């Protein structure tokens, strides 16, 4: 579904992503891990269209999307939830969802009021019922605790019913119960055929949720395999993770 070929990104003399090759299949949960500065976020920015590669190609559903802008990639079914939360803090949780639904309905050229209210309500209710991540829909989104703001950010990325979702630190700031809730959502999404590509520093979470793990260091992929293979890799442990990270 998602293929990256010989992708490289240079910032002056710094090679942030170095000749990366990656394939993510339909229904697969793929984690990208590595220390700070390994190139993970730069790779995400390249895939989602926020950066242009120095060289290499990105394919989605067999289509070359290397030069497509972010919104065109989104139309094809590529969505992203960011580590830095992007919500409208002064609007209610429900209104945040409605605005995302409005974009899905392709009615973004005018005020919210001109959208067919029945359709907007119906689709919004459907999204809320389908994912059920948040209980209080009528308080300002900015008054949600951090964990619920993370859930809202993820929920907004799902409104367009994407084929592939990039999740940046989905478990960050979540307690154990909330992490299990997000894990359940990710598993359900993968079972429905959606591809999930995620970055996270919580190794317990990564090893529990992933079908495959890709390890980056200094812009390169240094290892790839099942969670068990990665956890038992002497190279991975010795380079930067430490055995305790997998416990």
Domain identity same for 26 and 15: yes
- Regarding whether 167 and 72 lie in a shared domain, the answer is yes
160 three-class SS = coil
Beta strand ranges found along 75-153 (DSSP E)? 78-81
- Is residue 35 located within the same domain as residue 110? no
The answer to whether residues 150 and 180 belong to one domain is no
User: Residue 228: CB partners within 8 Å, gap ≥ 6?
Assistant: none
Domain edge (last residue) among 161, 181, 200: 161
Domain with 220 in it: what CATH number?
3.40.50.300
Q: Kindly state whether residues 167 and 233 are assigned to the same domain.
A: yes
> For residue 110, is pLDDT > 70?
no
For residue 188, what are the domain limits?
Answer: 1-77+162-247
121 shares its domain with 235: no
Q: Do residues 179 and 60 share a domain?
A: yes
* Count of CB atoms situated within 10 Å of the CB of 78: 27
Q: Give ∠ CA 5-227-235 in degrees, rounded to 5.
A: 75
Q: Give the DSSP H/E element, type plus range, for residue 20.
A: strand 14-24
Indicate whether 149 pLDDT > 70: yes
Q: How far apart are the first and last CA of the chain?
A: 32
Q: Are strands 78-81 and 2-11 parallel, antiparallel or unpaired?
A: unpaired
Total count of domains within the chain: 2
pLDDT tops 80 at residue 111: no
Asked whether residue 228 falls in the same domain as residue 241, the answer is yes
- The model's pLDDT over 153-187, given as tens digits with 9 standing for 90+, comes to 888 888 888 999 999 999 888 889 889 888 988 99
Q: Are residues 167 and 191 in the same domain?
A: yes
Its pTM stands at 0.85
Structure tokens at 87: 């919500």
Residues 199, 156 within the same domain: no
- CA atoms within 13 A of residue 113's CA, in its CB half-sphere: 0
**pLDDT over 90, % of the chain:** 58
Cα atoms in the 13 Å half-sphere on the side-chain side of 70 = 10
Q: pLDDT tens, 50-73?
A: 999 999 999 999 999 999 999 899
pLDDT of 188 over the 80 cut: yes
* Domain boundary pick from 95, 129, 161: 161
Please report which confidence band the pLDDT of residue 244 belongs to, taking 50, 70 and 90 as the band edges. very low
Query: Which of 161, 184, 199 is the endpoint of a domain?
Result: 161
Report pLDDT for 238. 77
- Return the pLDDT at 174: 86
Same domain flag for 142 and 197 = no
Q: Are residues 167 and 247 in the same domain?
A: yes
Picking from 37, 32, 38, 36, the residue whose alpha carbon sits closest to that of residue 215 is: 32
pLDDT of residue 129: 86
11-15 long-range contacts, CB within 8 A, separation 24+: 15/219
């Amino acid at each position: 579904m998602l293929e990256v070929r010989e992708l490289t990104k240079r910032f002056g003399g710094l090679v942030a992503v170095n000749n990366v090759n990656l394939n993510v299949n339909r229904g697969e949960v793929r984690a990208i891990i590595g220390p700070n500065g390994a190139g993970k976020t730069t790779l995400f920015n390249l895939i989602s269209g926020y950066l242009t590669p120095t060289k290499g190609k990105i394919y989605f559903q067999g289509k070359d999307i290397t030069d497509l802008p972010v919104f065109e990639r989104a139309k094809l079914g590529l969505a992203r939830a960011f580590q830095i939360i992007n919500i409208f803090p002064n609007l209610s949780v429900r209104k945040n969802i409605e605005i995302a639904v409005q974009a899905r309905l392709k009615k973004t050229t005018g005020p919210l009021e001109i959208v067919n209210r029945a359709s907007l309500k119906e689709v919004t209710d459907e999204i809320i019922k389908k994912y059920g991540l948040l209980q209080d829909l009528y308080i300002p989104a900015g008054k949600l605790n951090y964990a619920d703001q993370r859930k809202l950010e993820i929920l907004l990325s799902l409104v367009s019913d994407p084929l592939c979702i990039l999740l940046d630190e989905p478990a960050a700031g979540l307690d154990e119960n909330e992490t299990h809730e997000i894990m359940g959502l990710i598993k359900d999404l993968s079972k429905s055929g959606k591809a999930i590509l995620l970055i996270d520093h919580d190794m317990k979470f990564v090893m529990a949720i992933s079908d495959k793990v890709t390890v980056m260091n200094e812009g390169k992929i240094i290892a790839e395999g099942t969670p068990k293979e990665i956890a038992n890799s002497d190279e991975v442990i010795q380079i930067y993770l430490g055995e305790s990270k997998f416990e």
